[in-house]
Structure 1
Amino acid sequence: MIEGRYELLEPIGRGGMGEVWKAHDRRLRRFVAVKGLLDRNAMTAGTQAAAMQRARREAEAIAKIEHPNVVTVHDQVETDNQVWIVMKLLEARSLADLLRSERVLAIPRAADIGLQILQGLRAVHAASVVHRDVKPANVLVREDGTAILVDFGIATFEGAAQVTRSGSVIGTPPYLAPELFAPGSPGPTPASDLWALGVTLYEMAEGEAPFAGGEVWEVQENIRQSPDPVLRYAGPLAPVIQGLLFPDPRERLDAATAEAMLREVLGAPLARNATATGAATHALTAVSEPAPDPEPLGPPVAAPRAADGHQARRRKRPWLKAATAVVCVALLGTAGWLAAKGVSDDKTGTSGSTTAGSGGGSTGTEKWKATNPLLKIGVKDDQPGLSKYDRKTKTYAGYDIDLAYAIAGHLGYDRDEVAFTTVPTDYRSTALRTKGVDLVIASYSITPERKSASPGGDSVDFAGPYYEASRSFLVRQKSSKYTINDSSDLRRLGVEVCTARDSTYETELPKRGFTMTESQPNTYQDCLDQLLDVTSDVYAVASDDIILAGYEKANPGKVRRLENIQGAEGYGVAMRPGSPGLKTEVCSALRKILAGKVWEGLYEKNLSALMDNRTPPGRPDLTECEGY
């Protein structure tokens, strides 16, 4: 029993850096995965304190990563000689097991899994963490196709020592990037994680590792001798794999271009996401020097050189033509739209006119688009009616999505020049700060706290509101323990209420006397899952009425909404502070959308059925657009 709460039941995994147990969370009455970060058998008295400090720091860093393709961390617990991370228990098989049974995967499936791993890695790198052990064994694949990156046992930070005292790199030999062994190497970086992703993609497509060898020196020698592994079955994945497996990290594919190329393989509408050719794996923050790493794998190996004796970076890049083509498609798409500007978009009822809107000084919607041929928008993927992702069609649908297209049309973008990215509630501001997205349209409530974060925090700017939602609760249709008729019963009974982390409800409801779950998840969907679990102590989910209406419609007979409570949530279009030109254009677009019948049409199409076919609520006032 850990901290009187987590009961270890059975080991489910063990490696050189620790152990993973299936455990029971007695407080929330759910099963979780609990991982000890330290291999206590490898610790000596002299290294115990330093190792504990490093594990503690890593645990805190990993807990900050919030992304659908990265394992969810619930808690961190420290005992006398161990640092434990409590994570979501995933019913899934590893990609390694999948490859053992199927050997190779169909190209679309391999590209989809690779894309999800890459998206998870970008969130990891944005949190100033390098995974260091990306491989099929550390990727779980659920039955619905969701791929989740796990096992951060040897994760580290840029600037941290990458070698042991004996001077040897740790990690899994077939996945170690060649630059890790070059004299003066800075150690693991986001680029070395991308190399490991390239190896993983190769295995999925070709059924074997690109560079054979059980020891570090064997693998590195094979890279030096044959830097271009044969690709027989990869087909359209070949340029991506070649780009990720380029020995020189400076000329290796960056994350943004790799993602664009993977989307191109899948035929997804975001395929033009390669317009930014600079590195998209965000710069990391150096931290204090950690304790030396245990378990050396072998002696350092010289950096690979091409057959002509020049550094590997001088080698031809066969993938570059395909990457450039992706960029060119985006630019040509931009040119085509600009040539056809002013033509009505029948799907949204908006116009691509470049005339400046009211309330601002914009001279035309090309202003933002001139330097941003692709409009990147962060959205939710689990809110029926508002914004829902369909894994079969790989498309988003809902009110927020249609509104995003309408805004984009006024900014001069065609529909295929809009890229959607899922952003969990507590990752929205980070996605803006790191420039992963340009706008967030994700039921983002406008609050003074979000507009004026503390120094060093992630403040955002808003245009809007474009919708006013009421506050409400969702409860089980039937409960054998409590009778809940209205919100006052929740307060009186002191039952646990779940809401999304960093939502307005997390701080507001305790002030009103509601009892909250001890640890809030990062999505409302996670709260709904707990509510539907009859063994859970969660008896209510707090959110906006429109979000809860979608969940109620999707789970007939299982849950019901209570009456609305005092307060409203004004949804805004969020952007980075200091973007007055973009805000002017967005405000102009919102004015046109709200002034005409487009707004009513969006409501009727997406939300009226959820709200019992009621007429649209009153149009909100664009208070955040005054002066723009």
Structure 2
Amino acid sequence: MNPNALPADTLLGPWRVVSFQGQGAYGAVYRVEREAQAGAGPFALKLARHPLDPRFEREGELLSRICHPHVPRLLDRGWQVLPGGVPFPYLVMEWVEGTPLYAWASQQELTSRKVFQLLAQVARALEATHAVKGVHRDVKGDNVLVRMDGSAVLMDFGSGLYRGAEILTHQFPPPGTPQYQSPECQRFQWEARRLPRARYEAQPADDVYALGVTAYRLTVGEYPPECVAMQQTEEGFQFVPAEPVAPERRVSVSPELAALIRQMLSDEPALRGSATEVAQALEHAAEMSGPLADQPIRPVSKSLPQGLEPVPEVPRRRPRPPLLGLTGVRGLMVAVGVGLLTGGVWWAGTHLSWPGLQEERTSLGGHADAGPMDIAGELASQTEQSTVNMDVPQKPFPGQLRPPCDKPQVNINGGCWVQSADKTPPCGVRAYSWKDGCYSPILQLGRPPTSVQP
């Protein structure tokens, strides 16, 4: 019996399956009711898709420590022996009927005050998580459900960690969705890229930064500018200040909301404030902001209502000095997980569509390749010249996606490639030539999602 194909009326402990709701990389979600109380509920049962999965024990322990109205309440946890005699862990939580945050926003006339109210509730959920020495590690709009009454619930603690918990990830990338990872997390991955056992220790400030990305994505409709940028110098690659984050230059958010988003996205963790401080600031803004906070959030036009004009951008802190020992361009992987490699490396959507994360891939028989770093290094180490032409190699690069290849990808010499439709040989340094066409390799860096929305 497949863990994500249990028929209705199946019993898992005292819980009777009503219907299958969906699945992620590690768990299948069922709508269940308590057998002894038919009609009570419904409740959400999350069943592991892999036997003896230790993530469930860790997620259940973290949820058991948190009691908060904006975090799902844990009701039960146990094991179910499926045919074959192998036990699968499961968790039972209160059923949260709601819409994912970004989808909810697309159906509303969003205002700054509504954003204040929702984000304050998520910040309070983080406050409760941090109070028990835990971190969520995957805060994002897909993991926030908005109920019919307009309240928000922070979901999916499968990536969560707490002090003293068993460590399950021992390779890059660390748990989390790349677009939401903090600058310090991304810099750590670059600086420790040659240390296979190095491990990034997520902090509450990482969750606050991810909340800032969520706020920017919610209001602007896209992700903020890259928080980590690099440039090549004579001494190698070094970090440079990223572009300033100024949501008020894109949409008509209130000055208070723009300032809070900039604060949460600060490059310095200490300047972001704790979840408690952020929650207090959001609640104060929701209560005290004037009528401008009730104006619909819309793209900036040449004429904005008085008081909503873009404010001057805050100065960024000075550039960091060059990193010692990071000379040359071999192994270039600039923005670990946010897709900033050289322009010639293409990413397959199905392999970069985290919206969750596949934590601890190696513990389930997977592996992490260092090869994609080498590919990027090879591409970056050459000078851009239209006369350069490189043939597709006779075998796949390390870390390149292998067949079966999704359309419109093609199988060339045992690897998956995508054709540059507007280019013919010579292909330059951003692509490889094959049969009178220019192609770029598809690198398998993405991790499948764990987030499941009932």
* TM-score, normalised via structure 2 length: 0.52
Question: Aligned residue for 2:119?
Answer: 114
Specify the SS of the correspondent of 1:239: helix
Alignment of 1:69-80 (within 5 A): 69-80=70-81
One-letter identity of the residue aligned with 2:44: V
The answer to whether residue 107 in structure 2 is matched with residue 97 in structure 1 is no
Alignment of 1:83-482 (within 5 A): 83-102=89-108, 105-158=110-163, 164-181=169-186, 182=188, 183=192, 186-211=200-225, 220-221=228-229, 226-232=242-248, 233-235=252-254, 236-267=256-287
Q: Please, which of 43, 46, 60 is the counterpart of residue 36 of structure 1?
A: 46
Specify the SS of the correspondent of 1:259: helix
The answer to whether residue 20 in structure 2 is matched with residue 11 in structure 1 is yes
- Structure 1 Cα separation of the partners of residues 103 and 216 of structure 2: 16
Structure 2 residue runs of 5 or longer lacking an equivalent are 1-9, 82-86, 193-197, 231-238, 290-359, 374-454
Structure 1 residue runs of 5 or longer lacking an equivalent are 41-47, 213-218, 270-289, 302-628
Decide which structure has the larger Cα Rg and report it. Answer: 1
One-letter identity of the residue aligned with 1:11: F
- Classify 1:156/1:87 alpha carbon distance in 2 versus 1 (closer, same or farther; 3 Å): same
Alignment of 1:471-620 (within 5 A): none
Specify the SS of the correspondent of 1:267: helix
Q: CA deviation at 1:149?
A: 1.0
- Structure 2 Cα separation of the partners of residues 10 and 171 of structure 1: 29
One-letter identity of the residue aligned with 2:201: G
Cα deviation, 1:179-228, whole Å, max 9, x if unaligned, reads 2231466422211111111111112222222147xxxxxx7549966352
**Contact 1:174–1:211 at 8 Å: present in 2 too?**
no
- Structure 2 Cα separation of the partners of residues 221 and 9 of structure 1: 49
One-letter identity of the residue aligned with 1:69: H
Q: CA deviation at 1:119?
A: 0.5
Q: CA deviation at 1:7?
A: 1.9
- Structure 2 Cα separation of the partners of residues 3 and 161 of structure 1: 26
Q: CA deviation at 1:121?
A: 0.9
Specify the SS of the correspondent of 1:258: helix
The structure with higher relative contact order (CA 8 Å, sep 6+) is: 2
**Contact 1:169–1:297 at 8 Å: present in 2 too?**
no
Q: CA deviation at 1:136?
A: 1.0
- Structure 1 Cα separation of the partners of residues 288 and 47 of structure 2: 38
Specify the SS of the correspondent of 2:271: coil
**Contact 1:17–1:154 at 8 Å: present in 2 too?**
no
Question: Aligned residue for 1:55?
Answer: 56
Question: Aligned residue for 1:587?
Answer: none
Q: CA deviation at 1:95?
A: 0.8
**Contact 1:162–1:188 at 8 Å: present in 2 too?**
no
- Structure 1 Cα separation of the partners of residues 29 and 15 of structure 2: 13
- Structure 2 Cα separation of the partners of residues 87 and 75 of structure 1: 7
Deviation beyond 4 Å, 4+ runs, structure 1: 158-163, 219-225, 290-301
- Structure 1 Cα separation of the partners of residues 97 and 276 of structure 2: 30
**Contact 1:70–1:149 at 8 Å: present in 2 too?**
yes
- Classify 1:120/1:109 alpha carbon distance in 2 versus 1 (closer, same or farther; 3 Å): same
Question: Aligned residue for 2:388?
Answer: none
- Structure 2 Cα separation of the partners of residues 296 and 123 of structure 1: 34
- Structure 1 Cα separation of the partners of residues 102 and 245 of structure 2: 20
Q: CA deviation at 1:154?
A: 1.5
- Structure 1 Cα separation of the partners of residues 63 and 27 of structure 2: 16
Q: CA deviation at 1:36?
A: 3.0
Q: CA deviation at 1:162?
A: 7.1
**Contact 2:212–2:265 at 8 Å: present in 1 too?**
yes
Percent of counterpart pairs with the same letter?
Answer: 28
- Classify 1:296/1:148 alpha carbon distance in 2 versus 1 (closer, same or farther; 3 Å): farther
- Structure 1 Cα separation of the partners of residues 211 and 141 of structure 2: 9
Question: Aligned residue for 2:88?
Answer: 82
Q: CA deviation at 1:293?
A: 6.3
Cα deviation, 1:36-67, whole Å, max 9, x if unaligned, reads 36332xxxxxxx55x33x42233122123111
Specify the SS of the correspondent of 1:193: helix
- The count of residues paired between Structure 1 and Structure 2 equals 265
- Structure 2 Cα separation of the partners of residues 163 and 23 of structure 1: 29
- Classify 1:147/1:221 alpha carbon distance in 2 versus 1 (closer, same or farther; 3 Å): same
**Contact 2:100–2:142 at 8 Å: present in 1 too?**
yes
- Classify 1:132/1:204 alpha carbon distance in 2 versus 1 (closer, same or farther; 3 Å): same
